[in-house]
Chain A
Amino acid sequence: MTELSAHLPQFQHGQLTENFPDNHLCNTNDNSERRRHDNSERRRNDNPESETNGQPQNRTQQVVEQDEEDEELTLKYGAKHVIMLFAPVTLCMVVVVATIKSVSFYTRKDGQLIYTPFTEDTDTVGQRALNSILNAAIMISVIIVMTILLVVLYKYRCYKVIHGWLIISSLLLLFFFSFIYLGEVFKTYNVAMDYITLALMIWNFGVVGMICIHWKGPLRLQQAYLIMISALMALVFIKYLPEWTAWLILAVISVYDLVAVLCPKGPLRMLVETAQERNETLFPALIYSSTMMWLVNMAEEDPEAQRKASKSSTYDKQANQIQNEDADLDDGGFNPEWEQQRDSRIGPLESTPESRAAVQALPSNSQASEDPEERGVKLGLGDFIFYSVLVGKASATASGDWNTTLACFVAILIGLCLTLLLLAIFKKALPALPISITFGLVFYFATDNLVQPFMDQLAFHQFYI
């Protein structure tokens, strides 16, 4: 893979997230794909109080010089991006854990999904293990089939189908699942509510969500909605997946994630490469982005969007080329992205200072002529969901209770940190699940079985270590 950071993550994310079965219980499927995250291209960071790590802002200017310096700068910015991802992941987990602890609906056993047909209420441990393995196998195959279906649809340019699929899935999440969630919360706190008010609330919540996620909206609102729908999905998984099946699925999905993103013939990697060949972006609705997305929607034939898409995709390519060439960029501030935009607007021209000046005088919305924006970082919604499933399951079923939850939480954050570090080093799309889920699983089982008895004894004898 080349150093095209920008769109890689978007692609992967785009797909699968919720395209899968809009069906009743969604679940599953969305996952895998989403789990990529990557540095995006330079985008303006709309966060007014953006931190700079104590570094002077002008460091961004020097980024076009050497590869090494680019690497340092990504590492330097790495800390900020890690925090930009820590916050939403933490928020999602907090929402899920708070719901699990207070609303008993999500820990009550009310049947299972059709994707996990084998029950775990068996007589022997062996039978239970076998059933859970079969359940996990069925679920993973469904996910793989869906992923391949999506890649095929994308390859044959059935954008309308994919788009419709996505819209139906988010409709389901934003309206139906939030309705159920709200209903259960009201039941838990014994709040009397009439249907008319409820309908009004759900309608507003859902419509604003659809607009923010699929079209335009304030960045924070979009991020909040993405976190909320991830939390809702995670709660559905926690409720309907039996215990051993859930842990097995988590483990197998991290392996699948690793394979699908890094293997040359992996579906997600093929998706990314196809999108790159076409110079398109995937669906921004399915990725959590820490900075403002300029691009609106891939499926539209909007020339504005296309131009922006091509502009942003080529910008990064050219920026990388420039870095590789070690060329001196004394172009008066007109970087290649800007030139690309100019070309698309008024046709290819000889790039003379006069023509540049003339074009610059045009009232264009060339964000490119401004200071190079900071890189944002993207994380797929599937990653959010599976992190929250792990922590939620830990809080629901662990005997160590809060200790286990806390341990899993720290483990996942450290895994995310390590993944971002690898990202800064390798600069290509990476799976976000394997490291975090591995740490999370190890810490869950270790804390629950080893640390908890130890801490119990320590607390009993009032030892503080």
Chain B
Amino acid sequence: MTLAVFFGCSFIAFGPALGLCLFSVVREPLRVIILVAGAFFWLVSLLLSSLVWFIAVKASDPGDEPLQKGLLIFGVLFSVLLQEAFRFLYYKLLRKAIEGLVALSEDGCSPISIQQMAYAGLGFGLMSGAFSMINLLADALGPGTVGIHGDSQLYFLTSAFMTMVMIFLHTFWGILFFHGCETQRWWEMVAVIFTHLIVSGLGSRVRQAPSQDPEGPSGALSLSCSLPALPALWCCQLGPTVAFSAISFLFSVIGGPPFVPAGGRCPGAPAARE
């Protein structure tokens, strides 16, 4: 693995998000704060869900493989539901913040609209992507050969693409979810939760590895053993995920309201009701 792999994978995974950040988030302090707070909320939801999973694992028999697999799937589903719950909580918090800002402002205009606050979704996505990808990238800098035991050599590449798609998905889910909350269209929120569950559940189609290298941080290399052949992976995981991402993108662009630029025409308090 070389520096090229490292940079290639990191730009595949984080390039679009970085572009989004550079062009629309970095210049506005409020958006940066919303982004970081979104990342924090995702982190808290992950913490709680991993706590639940950890307790379940400790309380069960570690030798029972199917049980452990089942607990993991349960952990994943619980984590997804908790993430969406935290997304809703974050929406509530942002709503209050907007009301506060509107109350404090002179002309009844909030400096940021609820649509822009859907950048919280980007915060969720960035954190999720970072947690999935960063250890992999760190390993990519070190010595080793991917798939040396006969497995897929494109492990890093597919992980990078999956991460990129997940970041996009979280962003679109954020937009759709906030829009659904704003306009009381519950089906949008249900659709977001549903697609999230499906996308996260796709990973279970991957077959298990025979053994795992107990080397801790370098264990990522041994993870390549767990990947099936590439075409199957693309069909089973990356394909549907990209499809969902495209659909969500279409929905958020067409169905969602257009972004109101900061300082633009003010809808009046309370902000942006459809």
Q: Is the CB of B262 within 8 A of A401?
A: no
Q: Which of A28-36, A49-57, A107-115, A336-344 forms contacts with chain B?
A: A49-57
Does A457 lie at the interface of the complex (its beta carbon under 8 Å from any beta carbon of B)?
yes
| A447 touching B47, Cβ below 8 Å | yes
Q: How far, in Å, is A78 (CB) from chain B's closest CB?
A: 9
CB distance B28 to A461 under 8 Å? no
Residue from A410, A411, A413, A463 having most chain B Cβ neighbours under 10 A: A463
Q: Which of A59, A76, A80, A460 contacts B209 (CB 8 A)?
A: A460
| From A53, A413, A414, contact of B28 by CB (8 A) | A53
A443 close to B47 (CB less than 8 A): yes
Query: B194 contacts the other chain (Cβ, under 8 Å)?
Result: no
Q: Are A403 and B72 in contact (CB under 8 A)?
A: no
B34 to chain A, nearest CB (A): 9
- A414 close to B40 (CB less than 8 A): yes
Known: A451-B47, A462-B206. A79 touches B30 (CB 8 A): yes
Query: Is A399 an interface residue when CB atoms closer than 8 A count as contact?
Result: yes
Residues B162 and A464 in contact, CB atoms below 8 Å apart: yes
**B206 contact set on A, CB distance < 8 A:** 461-462
Tell me whether B120 is interfacial, beta carbon within 8 Å. Answer: no
The interface residues of chain B lying within 8 Å CB-to-CB of A51 are 27-29
- Chain B, interface size: which category? 35 or more
Contact yes or no, A72 B105, CB < 8 A: yes
User: Which residue of the partner chain, among B28, B208, B223, B237, contacts A54 with CB atoms under 8 Å?
Assistant: B28
Residue A159, interface by CB 8 Å: no
Instruction: Report yes or no: B72 in contact with A457, Cβ–Cβ below 8 A.
Output: yes
Q: Which of B28, B112, B209 has the most C-beta atoms of chain A within 10 angstroms of its own C-beta? A: B28
Q: Considering the complex, which residues of chain B in the window 214-259 have a beta carbon less than 8 Å from any beta carbon of chain A? A: 216-217, 219-220, 223, 226-227, 237, 241
Determine whether the beta carbon of A79 is less than 8 Å from that of B29: yes
- Mask, B172-206, CB within 8 Å of A = 1, is 00000000000000000000000000011011101
- Asked if A262 CB lies within 8 Å of chain B CBs, one says no
**Residue in chain B with minimal CB distance to A451:** B50
> What range describes how many residues of A lie at the interface?
35 or more
Query: DSSP class of A's interface residues: helix, strand, loop or mixed?
Result: helix
A410 to B138, CA, bound (A): 19
Is B106 touching A59 in the complex (CB atoms < 8 A)? yes
Question: Known: A443-B47, A446-B47, A451-B47. Is A461-B72 also a contact (CB below 8 A)?
Answer: yes
Q: Which residue of A lies closest to B75 (CB)?
A: A454
A406 adjacent to chain B (CB < 8 Å): yes
Contact assessment for B29 and A402 in the assembled complex, using a CB-CB cutoff below 8 Å = no
Q: Give the residues in chain B near A455, CB-CB below 8 Å.
A: 50, 131-132
Give, as a whole number of angstroms, the nearest-CB distance from B27 to chain A: 7
Check: B76 CB closer than 8 A to any chain A CB: yes
- Of the candidates A75, A82, A403, A410, the one whose C-beta lies within 8 Å of that of B40 is A410
Determine if A403 and B29 form an interchain contact, defined as CB atoms under 8 angstroms apart.
no
Residues of chain A within 8 A (CB-CB) of B146 are none
Complex: chain A residue closest to B205, CB-CB: A462
By beta carbon, the residue of chain A nearest B129 is A464
> CB distance B220 to A411 under 8 Å?
no
| Interface members, chain A 422-465 (any B CB < 8 Å) | 443, 446-447, 449-451, 453-465
**Residues 375-410 of chain A, each 1 if its beta carbon lies under 8 Å from chain B, else 0:** 000000000000000000000000101110011001
A336 to chain B: closest CB distance in Å?
Answer: 24
Which residues of the other chain, B, contact A72 by a CB distance below 8 angstroms? 104-105
Q: Which residues of B contact A454 (CB under 8 A)?
A: 46, 49-50, 53-54, 75
Q: Does B263 contact A (CB under 8 A)?
A: yes
Q: Are A460 and B212 touching (Cβ within 8 A)?
A: yes
CA A426 to CA B134, docked complex, whole Å: 39
The one of B28, B51, B131, B226 in contact with A403, judged by C-beta atoms closer than 8 angstroms, is B131
Residues of B within 8 A of A253 (CB): none
Whether the pair B33, A82 counts as a contact (CB closer than 8 A) is: yes
Say if the beta carbon of A154 comes within 8 Å of chain B: no
Q: Is the Cβ of A465 less than 8 Å from the Cβ of B138?
A: no
Contacts of A244 in B (CB 8 A): none
Q: Can you identify 14 A-B contacts, CB atoms within 8 angstroms?
A: A79-B29, A79-B32, A411-B40, A449-B54, A453-B54, A454-B53, A456-B219, A458-B203, A459-B223, A460-B212, A461-B204, A462-B237, A464-B128, A465-B76
Q: A72-B104, A414-B40, A464-B200 are in contact. List 14 more A-B contacts (CB 8 A).
A: A51-B28, A54-B112, A75-B100, A76-B105, A80-B29, A86-B32, A410-B39, A411-B43, A414-B37, A454-B53, A454-B54, A463-B200, A464-B132, A465-B83
Query: Measuring CB to CB, which residues of chain B are less than 8 angstroms from any residue of chain A?
Result: 27-30, 32-33, 36-37, 39-40, 43, 46-47, 49-51, 53-54, 57, 69, 72, 75-76, 79-80, 83, 100-101, 104-106, 111-112, 127-128, 130-132, 134-136, 138, 162-163, 166, 199-200, 202-204, 206, 208-209, 212, 216-217, 219-220, 223, 226-227, 237, 241, 262-263
